[in-house]
Structure 1
Amino acid sequence: MENIDIGKKVEKYRKEKGWSIRELARIAEITPSMLSQIERGLANPSITTLRVVAKALDVPTFHFLMEDTPTADLVVRAGQRKKMVIEDLAYELVSPDFTGTLGTAILQVPPQAASSEKLLAHKAEEVAYVLEGKVKVYLNDEAYVLEAGDSVKIPAQMTHKWENDFQQPASILFSVTPPAF
């Protein structure tokens, strides 16, 4: 929790409202001195104080307690994607990692390759979009041929697999929630 600066967040929300320290202090019914100390990081507010400040600012209290993520960590350059190769399949992470509640990757399926021998299920829900090529997706006992521009939603626990029995490689962009491999 080292990236949390409650005071800076209070100041940011206060300034977004166009309020002075005195105005927010009056609305929140705390002293301007206390509010100034909180904003400058010289005092940590009690939960009670944080709640009244949050209510005055019309911001959920938990927003003040969330860690800040450096924005540079959110950008993934095309040539710097994390890659994983499993047998003939290659995965490139589009999201920075598979932490959090959503992960996105590109699956490269070469001709005459499949994601598994048999249908598998997992706890994650997926949405997949075919970027290029053609690929067969098995959903339970049904098979569907998807071409570039086609997409599919795969509910959690549904058995499925990808298979490319065509002549060209296929690229599939997919998002998974929660991230699971």
Structure 2
Amino acid sequence: MENIDIGKKVEKYRKAKDFSIRQLAKLAEITPSMLSQIERGLANPSIQTIKVLAKSLEVPTFSFFMEETNTVDLVVRSTNRKKMVMDNISYELVSPDFTGNLATAIMNLPPNTASSEKQMEHKGEEVAFVLEGKIKVILNDEEYVLEPGDSVKIPAQMKHKWENNFNEHAAILFSVTPPAF
């Protein structure tokens, strides 16, 4: 964990609320000079002061202790997607990684392939959107043929399977929460 600058976070939240140093100091019942020193990293606030500042700024106390997200890590270039190939089916991770509560990927199925031999289930919900080609999805005992622009929601624990019984490549964009690939 890198060093977290609580003072910079206090300043960011204060400015987002459009408070002056004097206004926030009054709400938090500390002196303006103390608040200024906290924001400039010249004073370390006590836990009690952090709690009062969080309440005054209407943010969770833990928000002062969270690391900043490096936005460059949130961008995934199409040429840099993580890829996995299993039995001619490829998966391209659209989201940067499997951290967090959601992962999105593209499943590519060549003609005459299936996602698995039998129906599978997992603990996460899934929403799938057909990007190209036709695909048959089997949900429990029901079969549906989906075409580009069609989508399906698959609830947690529902048995399902994807089959490309057609003569063209199929690509399906899907998101799963929590991530389970």
Pairwise CA distance, 1:93 = 0.8
* Alignment-derived partner of residue 80 in structure 1: 80
Question: Which residue number in structure 1 is paired with residue 104 of structure 2?
Answer: 104
The corresponding residue for 1:162 is 162
Tell me how many residue pairs correspond in the alignment: 181
Match of 2:69 in 1: 69
Report deviation, 1:59: 2.0
Deviation at 1:149, TM superposition (A): 0.5
User: What amino acid is aligned across from residue 53 of structure 1 in structure 2?
Assistant: L
What is residue 149 of structure 1 aligned with on the other side? 149
In structure 2, the residue corresponding to 1:12 is in which secondary structure?
helix
Say whether the 8 Å CA contact 1:129–1:172 is kept in structure 2.
yes
One-letter identity of the residue aligned with 1:100: G
What CA RMSD, in Å, does the superposition of the two structures yield over aligned residues? 1.4
The separation in 2 between residues aligned to 1:98 and 1:3, in whole angstroms, is 24
- The alpha carbon displacement at 1:3 in A equals 5.7
Match of 2:113? 113
- CA shift for structure 1 position 18: 2.6
Once the 2 structures are TM-superposed, how far is the Cα of residue 101 of structure 1 from its aligned partner? 0.5
Identity rate, percent: 74
Which whole-Å CA distance do the structure 2 matches of 1:150 and 1:4 have between them? 45
| Structure 2 length-normalised TM | 0.94
Q: Retained in 2: the 8 A contact 1:3–1:68? A: no
Moved more, 22-31 or 12-21: 12-21
Kept after mapping to 2: 8 A contact 1:105/1:173: yes
User: What corresponds to 1:40 in structure 2?
Assistant: 40
Structure 1 stretches of 4+ with a deviation exceeding 6 A read: none
Q: Please, which moves more after superposition, 166-175 or 56-65?
A: 56-65
